[in-house]
Amino acid sequence: MEQYVIKGGVRLQGEVSIGGAKNAALGILAAAIMTDETVTIENVPNVRDIRVLLQAIEGIGAKVTYVYNNSVQINGGSISDINVDYEYIKKIRASYYLLGALLGKYKESQVALPGGCNIGSRPIDQHIKGFKALGAEVDISYGKIHTKAEKLVGSHIYFDVVTVGATINLMLASCMAEGDTILENAAKEPRQKPRLSVCAWGYLQFLAFFVFLAFLLAFWVFCSFVFCSVLAFLRSSM
């Protein structure tokens, strides 16, 4: 069993470079194959899950180039296979994000079931429900899930349970569908909250600006009242 042993009592000092969020990077890397243009992703954490997903992306024919230690370029224009090998799926579950990405781009994808054929321990029913709602046919056989559609059409999809994987997969597939797609009861992970916080901060700044203007107006009215009162008093005293 791997473990960290930390011995305290020593003052911490120095600098540490903070890498990007792994879970956010996995979804972004999968999305990068959906365009035929070269996509550059910076500050990608150099961890095992990322390396395995990049190997899976290379395995279906996309070009992956390591620009720097933490920067990667992906070009999905050379993809020649919509079948993601089980060797990658068994290593990291996030490899099945390519299911939604390939379905969105090519209207077909085939990926081994996460954890092999044991669908009970790793349920993907919400993925299947969502793909069908977009108009795809879904077939599960021989330990693989195969999706295919003549075209994808936007839909209102309600997740019976909150699921990160299904949310990401349906976001990837639906962005290439005709019309709008609404994902209800979708996952809201911490990596998504900073974006929401930026919006909320913008509204707070907007509100604070008007509060400040109201304060200035009230202050001006108060000063005017005091000035007029003092002026009236002085006139009456003369």
Query: Rounded to 5 degrees, what angle do the CA atoms 195, 170, 131 make?
Result: 170
What CA–CA distance (Å, rounded) separates 5 from 23?
25
Strands 182-184 and 156-158: parallel
For residues 100-125, b (16+ Cβ closer than 10 Å) or e, as one string? bbbbbbebebbbbbbeeeebeeeebe
What is the pairing mode between strands 108-112 and 182-184?
unpaired
Residue 119 CA to its chain's centroid (Å): 25
Among the listed residues 117, 199, 223, 228, the single catalytic one is 117
- Helix 22-32, helix 164-174: angle, nearest 10: 30
Is residue 117 part of the annotated active site? The answer reads yes
Among all residues, which ones are annotated catalytic?
117
